[in-house]
Each structure stands twice: as structure tokens, then as C-alpha cells.
Amino acid sequence: MHAHANQIRTVLLLALVSGFVMATGAIFGQTVFLLSIVFAAGLCAYLYVVGPSLPLRAMHARRVSEIEQPHLFRVVRELSTVARLPMPALYVSPTSAPNVFAAGHGPSHAAVCCTEGLLELLDERELRAALAHALTRIGSRDTLTSSIAGALGAVICGFAGFGYLLGFGDGGSRRSRVVEAMLSVLAPIAGALIRLGMSRTVEYRADHEGALLAGDPPAMISALRKTEDGVACAPLPPEPEIGVHAHAMMVFPFREGERYTRSFRTQPPLDDRIARLQSLTA
């Protein structure tokens, strides 16, 4: 049921992007319209093919072997067996900001990435719950929709790079002002499209199903609390290149109120998430 809904959401998101590109091209005549069709097709292909790898690149994640991370492999293998999912590829991001996320086209081509900060912060029960959270997003095929939405956001924010061209030759401060002005407009647009593809319901469902998969709702509550506290102490740098993938992570990875990044938040308030999980423990 959830997987089917996400497939529909993915198709609608790609259709919306294609429709906007072609409608814009139609304003400038038949030749530009035909070019816009080609561009829309290429953009959709890029979002679908490259999108799932972008959050891993943004986090500078490195694929690890079972020799390097035997404990991580053991926990993920156990959870994958219970969830009847293929074993995903495992990555570790070299950052002290604690978090975990899943990426990929679907269960057969999926990856789970933990940060070094998460592996150091959580105990075994909490880590098991956090990994279960990521695996449920793979099982419900949230990862493809999430990846495409993030890649689309990255493309939109990437247009701010034209600020360097617009301000070329006028000094670094001029270029910086142009880029900031463009980001102030583009970041909310990118955030709105990401929220269109990913709703808060996705996060609530991952919390609920992850707690059930791990068989330990209190551990999920503890993992969420400790991870959010850890982010408060060691947030990720407030960069749009990372922000467009923030919706894929278990906890919003930036300090509250950071410029640009607040546009990309899709995670519900922590108190609401915990309140729903506490109903399971009751």
C-alpha cells in the first residue's frame, strides 16, 4: 500500500517538473518548446538515475566492508531478514553529526548510511532502532521518491551558481551577494518541491514501523532523543548542497533557524514523534 502510493508520488513529481519545463518552453515558441521536451526528458532521466547517489556524495559517505564494520553488518543483516529485505550496501559518513538515512531505487538497489557520530553516540539497542527506521523507508520505497525530490532540489539550488558568472569580475563580495540573493529565492522553491514529494506522514510511519521492526519502541524514542541532542551539539554545516537531502535523514541535521536550511525541513517536531511512539509502549 505504502510502496504503491510512493510510486504514484514519484511519477507525479516527475510529471510536474516535466510539465513546468515544457510549459515554460511553450511561451517562447515552437522551437524552444521542442528543446524543452528534450530537456525535460533528460532532466527526468538524470533525477532517476543519479538521484539516489547524491545524498551519499553530499555526505562524503564511503562504502564499508563487513571486516571494517562487523557489528553494523550483523545488526542490519538481522533486521533485513526479519523485514524480508535484501541486504543493503552499507556506508559510513565521516562526520561527528549523528544521523542515519537510506537511499536507492528500491529494495534490490538500496544503501544505508550512518555517520561516525551516530555509531559513537548510540548503544546497541538504540542503533538497532535507528537502522530499523532506515530499513522501513527502503521497504516502503520512500527512498526513490526522497532521492528524486532531493536531486530536484539540488538542481534548483544549483542555479545559484550562476551568481558567480553574473558577478564575475566585480569582486568576491559582489559574487557572494548575488549568490545569497539567488539562494534566498531558490531555497524556498526547492524546499516546497521536496515537501510536495515527502510528507510528515512518511516520518511518522518510519518511526512506527521501525519501532515494530526492532521490537523495541523505547529504544526508538531514546535513539531519536539522543540523535537530536547530538545534532544540537554537532550540527552539519548549513549548506544547501546538504540541505536538499535533509528530508532523508532520521533527524533534521541542522541547528534550528539556520538560514536556507530551514526551508528543507520535513521532519515533524520531536515531541510529536515521541508522543506517537509512546502509544506503542502503552
CATH number of domain containing 232? 3.30.2010.10
Count the domains in the chain: 1
Q: Which of 165-169, 193-197, 254-258, 263-267 has the lowest mean pLDDT?
A: 165-169
Are the CB atoms for 217 and 61 separated by under 8 Å? no
pLDDT band for position 1 (cuts 50, 70, 90)? very low
In the DSSP assignment, the letter for residue 94 is -
Strand stretches in the chain, DSSP E: 62-63, 89-93, 100-106, 109-115
Q: Mean of the per-residue pLDDT values for the chain? A: 82
Residue 33 reports pLDDT greater than 70: no
**Does residue 249 lie within any of the structural domains?**
yes
**Does residue 230 lie within any of the structural domains?**
yes
Please compute the mean of the pLDDT values over residues 20-29 and round it to a whole number.
68
Strand stretches in 108-197, DSSP E: 109-115
Q: Which of 53-62, 101-110, 237-246, 253-262 has the lowest mean pLDDT?
A: 253-262
Q: Write out pLDDT tens, residues 186-203.
A: 667 666 666 666 667 888
CA distance 282 to 280: 5
pTM score of the predicted model? 0.84
**Does residue 246 lie within any of the structural domains?**
yes
For 270, the domain range is 55-144+197-281
Are the CB atoms for 224 and 270 separated by under 8 Å? yes
Residue 160 reports pLDDT greater than 90: no
pLDDT band for position 42 (cuts 50, 70, 90)? confident
**Does residue 168 lie within any of the structural domains?**
no
**Does residue 50 lie within any of the structural domains?**
no
Q: Quickly count helices (H) and strands (E) in the chain.
A: 13, 4
Q: Which of 13-27, 169-183, 193-207 is modeled with the greatest confidence?
A: 193-207
**Does residue 160 lie within any of the structural domains?**
no
For residues 200 and 114, which has the higher predicted lDDT (pLDDT)? 114
Q: Give CA separation, 93 vs 7, 64, 220, in Å.
A: 28, 10, 21
| Nine-digit cell string for 275 | 508522543
**Does residue 219 lie within any of the structural domains?**
yes
Helix ranges restricted to H, 29-98: 30-50, 54-58, 70-83
